[in-house]
Amino acid sequence: MNSKAGDAIAADQLAVSIQPGEDTELTTVVTGAGARIAPLAEADALIWTGSNPADFPAVLPERISWVQLPLAGIENWISRGVIDARRVWTSAAGAYADTVAEHALMLLLAGVRALPGCVRAQSWQSAAPLSKIGTLRGATVTVLGAGGIGRAMIPMLDAVGARVLAVNRRGLPVPGATRTVPVEDLDQVWPVTDHVVVAAPATPATRHLIGAAELTALKPTSWLVNVARGDLVDTDALVVALRAGTLAGAALDVTAPEPLPDGHPLWQEPRAVITPHIANPTTMLRRALAERVAENVSRRAAGRELLGRVDLSSGY
Amino acid sequence: MNSKAGDAIAADQLAVSIQPGEDTELTTVVTGAGARIAPLAEADALIWTGSNPADFPAVLPERISWVQLPLAGIENWISRGVIDARRVWTSAAGAYADTVAEHALMLLLAGVRALPGCVRAQSWQSAAPLSKIGTLRGATVTVLGAGGIGRAMIPMLDAVGARVLAVNRRGLPVPGATRTVPVEDLDQVWPVTDHVVVAAPATPATRHLIGAAELTALKPTSWLVNVARGDLVDTDALVVALRAGTLAGAALDVTAPEPLPDGHPLWQEPRAVITPHIANPTTMLRRALAERVAENVSRRAAGRELLGRVDLSSGY
């Protein structure tokens, strides 16, 4: 073996398998990060590019000590038992944060500034009752989940003059947020919340985090944005709340069920805006995944902490 | 007269008339800034709250040395000869910059991320071809006009990862812009422009600044946003360009003609988004005007330069 000094030795020795099938872009990225490509049986690490947990090998070679998955949300991989405690697993959590945050900002701004009604209108007068137009300037936006997406949103919301109230599991202060509240005190945030962005991971604990009580607690001028997972919002309760006008509207990139079936009441609801899970479009996903793989291969070779490491006890 | 020392003397002496009619909010603002309210015939300054230049008095008392108008765009007041060279005139230019900039950002984001098609869709599959989704991250946004609105947009665009190319009359560098180009070199910006925001004042020189040639020079993925005045864009050329797909779409808060008449081709054009001149809604206008009046009364009383001073030679 052709040994070199320092980090380069480790990178030289890291054998990475990319599965399933060939992937020239990721191959370039892995070798560019100093590792070498190896067959699965001889690899130390596996970069898995498939999105369906059912396609993942039932048994991995013992030698594989790290698996990189291509998705940010891996709750189905955990519930199916794919992710074990025998090795290190990393998701792409946070890798797509910028583009999802941009989409969330877009949905929130469009709702607050009454764009949906304007898009549907066919005349100047009917386009938008002026009274519906709001602003994010001076508004308090509660961001549920202060992972990559939530953190990426903070400077964006700051730039348009909004304050961020962050909600996370333990209430550890999020840099840039005006205030951080632990999720167990969620009921305390509603009196000071103007709008809500759901950006938390889907776990058994976060299912229906936004239900009938939370929707009722919102203001008639509030917009709800969900760019996380449909299950975090109780869809039936949302339909009721939108009809009753207890909130101004909901802009959803994710739904439950998903895809939202034809004829679902949300398709006809004027207060609802739906984008079909496109916050992280394929074109941007490839580029962001490549960057994450390059970073994590370098980190693994250097023995440093990996980004997006899955914590089975918290479920993401 | 109850004279005091320093600035307070001047403020004490500044007699301000608010016309037409009573305005308790502005009265509070003017007296709060240390001036006193006076009838028109005895006033040094006039705060005019009407939006129609036809309603403005044909002759003002000679004593009036300063007139504050409530609008940001005063091209009709100039063309009708209301604004004379006998006294100082100030518009509300820049006072509404934050809210208009927020609206422009919203329109641009919504276009780039394919929201209009999603809003019109009634099913998941039809909602948005994924290939149409773009991002502002890494994009170059050309902002025509680097006054209040353009400057207010720079930190917003920066926060979503876009670069700003500013275009103004003389090419004087705009802080925060990657590059500033004088309007006479406008044809040089198109090869490096991803999207365009029109935020320049309406003057004879800026009429149809965006015409057939400029629209053809844009990319098939480009969005055009206009939050300034409809006349800056050649509407007929825009309709042709949108049909031909030489640009991705146009999001317009202002149109020519305005209001856009029923049955106009833009109402049926899927690449067009129209909001009916609501970037600066009445609710926010009142608050912003009050702030501007307070600031300018204080400045006038202290003999300092006023904000939004009209320059008849440049036409705004």
Mean pLDDT by 10 residues, chain B (316 residues): 43 85 91 93 95 93 95 90 94 92 98 95 80 88 93 97 96 95 96 97 93 97 97 98 97 97 96 94 83 94 93 84
Q: End-to-end CA distance of chain A, in Å?
A: 38
Contact A266, A292 (CB under 8 A): no
- Cα separation, B110 vs B195, in Å, equals 13
Annotation marks residue B300 as catalytic: no
A278/B103 touch (CB, cutoff 8 Å), yes or no: no
Looking at residue B255, its pLDDT comes to: 98
Q: Which residues of chain B neighbour A273 with C-beta distances below 8 Å?
A: 115, 118-119
Of B169, B277, B286, B299, catalytic: B277
Interface mutation vs chain A, best among B274, B284, B285, most A CBs within 10 Å: B274
Each residue's pLDDT tens digit, B156-188: 999 999 999 999 999 999 999 999 999 999 999
Ordered by where they begin, the domains of chain B are 7-95+282-301 (3.40.50.720), 97-274 (3.40.50.720)
Contact B255, B235 (CB under 8 A): yes
Secondary structure (H, E, C), chain A: CCCCCCHHHHHHHCEEEEECCCCHHHHHHHHHCCCEECCHHHCCEEEECCCCHHHCCCCCCCCCCEEECCCCCCHHHHHCCCCCCCCEEECCCCCCHHHHHHHHHHHHHHHHCCHHHHHHCCCCCCCCCHHHCCCCCCCEEEEECCCHHHHHHHHHHHHCCCEEEEEECCCCCCCCCCEEEEHHHHHHCHHHCCEEEECCCCCHHHCCCECHHHHHHCCCCCEEEECCCHHHECHHHHHHHHHHCCCCEEEECCCCCCCCCCCCHHHHCCCEEECCCCCCCHHHHHHHHHHHHHHHHHHHHCCCCCCCECCCCCCC
Annotation marks residue A258 as catalytic: yes
| DSSP letter, residue A56 | S
Looking at residue B102, its pLDDT comes to: 98
B136/A102 touch (CB, cutoff 8 Å), yes or no: yes
Nearest of A310, A316, A100, A274 to residue A198 by alpha carbon: A100
| A309 alpha-carbon distance from chain centroid | 15
Interface confidence, given as ipTM, is 0.86
Looking at residue A128, its pLDDT comes to: 63
Each residue's pLDDT tens digit, B54-93: 999 999 999 999 999 999 889 899 999 999 999 999 999 8
Sequential pLDDT tens for chain A (316 residues)? 344 444 444 545 899 999 998 899 999 999 999 899 999 999 999 999 998 999 999 999 999 999 999 998 898 999 999 999 999 999 998 889 999 999 999 999 999 999 999 999 999 988 766 557 899 999 999 999 988 999 999 999 999 999 999 999 999 999 999 999 999 999 999 999 999 999 998 989 999 999 999 999 999 999 999 999 999 999 999 999 999 999 999 999 999 999 999 999 999 999 999 999 999 887 778 888 999 999 999 999 889 999 999 998 887 8
> Considering the entire predicted model, what is its pTM?
0.86
Tokens of A223: 């917009």
| DSSP letter, residue B269 | -
Non-local CB neighbours of B108 within 8 Å, separated by 6+ positions: B136, B141, B195, B197, B223, B225, B251
Minimal C-alpha gap between A10 and chain B (Å):
34
Annotation marks residue A195 as catalytic: no
A103/B113 touch (CB, cutoff 8 Å), yes or no: yes
Looking at residue A9, its pLDDT comes to: 44
- Residue A167 to residues A109, A146, A154, A316, B45, Cα–Cα distance (Å): 21, 7, 13, 16, 51
Nearest-CB residue to B156 (from A106, A127, A160): A160
Looking at residue B1, its pLDDT comes to: 39
B118/A276 touch (CB, cutoff 8 Å), yes or no: yes
B114/A156 touch (CB, cutoff 8 Å), yes or no: no
Looking at residue B22, its pLDDT comes to: 84
Q: Report which residue type is found at A15.
A: A
Angle at CA of residue A114, ends A94 and A232, nearest 5°: 40
Phi/psi region, residue A289 (left: phi>0; alpha: psi -120 to 50; beta: rest), is alpha
Looking at residue B3, its pLDDT comes to: 41
Comparing alpha-carbon positions, the chain B residue that sits nearest to A262 is: B123
B275/A115 touch (CB, cutoff 8 Å), yes or no: yes
Helix, strand, coil shares of chain B as percentages rounded to 5?
A: 40, 15, 45
Looking at residue A3, its pLDDT comes to: 41
Looking at residue B128, its pLDDT comes to: 63
Of B103, B163, B195, B229, catalytic: B229
Contact A240, A264 (CB under 8 A): no
Bridge-partner residues for B16, per DSSP? Answer: B37, B45
